[in-house]
Amino acid sequence: MKTFGEKIRRSRENLGISQDTLAKEAGVSQRTITSYETNNSRPRGITARKLAKALGVSVDYLLNEDVDDPKYGMEKDPYMEAIRKSYGPKAEKEANELLEKNMALFAGGTLTQEAKDAFFEAVMTAYVTCKEEARKTYSNKKGDN
């Protein structure tokens, strides 16, 4: 099990890039990267997503010390980004929890990438549909007052 800092350092070194290069790609200072690599701090929200993207790994891999596969959960990252942009960070957290709970349905089995993509798309479509219905319902009530 690797720490967050070890994952950042190892991923950066595997790419053959400097702390300064990673810092520029992630939009932070080189000092911040050093702080991450020495486990003195951790990024939140959008910075974690920028780091993951710059390193070519998933956000789940970076932030969850129990995850050893750098690509684990990467297929859901675009869905989470779209949810966050449309509905905010709270909705992103809800959608992520929804996906994680539903992944338990496949415990012990393996899915093809196409099956994973179809699953994520179906769950996210259902989630977005419910969010849009809630927006309509609550915005109509506010407008009636």
The reported pLDDT for the residue numbered 107 is 64
Residues 6+ apart with CB under 8 A from 112: none
The reported pLDDT for the residue numbered 140 is 64
Domain enclosing residue 39, as ranges:
4-63
Q: How many domains does the chain have?
A: 2
CATH (domain of 19): 1.10.260.40
- Whether residue 145 is predicted with pLDDT greater than 50 in this model: the reply is no
In this structure, which amino acid lies at residue 91? A
- Whether residue 62 is predicted with pLDDT greater than 70 in this model: the reply is yes
Last residue of a domain, one of 16, 31, 63: 63
The reported pLDDT for the residue numbered 19 is 96
The reported pLDDT for the residue numbered 109 is 67
Q: What is the pLDDT of residues 95-139, one digit of tens each?
A: 888 887 777 676 666 777 787 778 878 888 888 888 888 888 887
In a domain, 53, yes or no: yes
Chain CA centroid to CA 137, Å: 29
- Whether residue 84 is predicted with pLDDT greater than 70 in this model: the reply is yes
In a domain, 57, yes or no: yes
The reported pLDDT for the residue numbered 35 is 96
- Domain identity same for 138 and 80: yes
Cα within 13 Å of Cα(71), Cβ side: 2
- DSSP string for 6-75: HHHHHHHHHHT--HHHHHHHHTS-HHHHHHHHTTS----HHHHHHHHHHHT--HHHHH-TT---TTTTGG
Q: What is the pLDDT of residues 19-31, one digit of tens each?
A: 999 999 999 999 9
> What is the C-alpha separation between 43 and 46, in angstroms, rounded?
8
In a domain, 101, yes or no: yes
- Domain identity same for 48 and 27: yes
Q: What is the pLDDT of residues 34-45, one digit of tens each?
A: 999 999 999 988
- Domain identity same for 8 and 51: yes
In a domain, 68, yes or no: no
From the CB of residue 26, how many other CB atoms can be counted at a distance below 10 Å? Answer: 23
Tokens of 88: 């905010």
Q: Where are the beta strands (DSSP E) in 41-145?
A: none
The reported pLDDT for the residue numbered 141 is 55
- Domain identity same for 137 and 98: yes
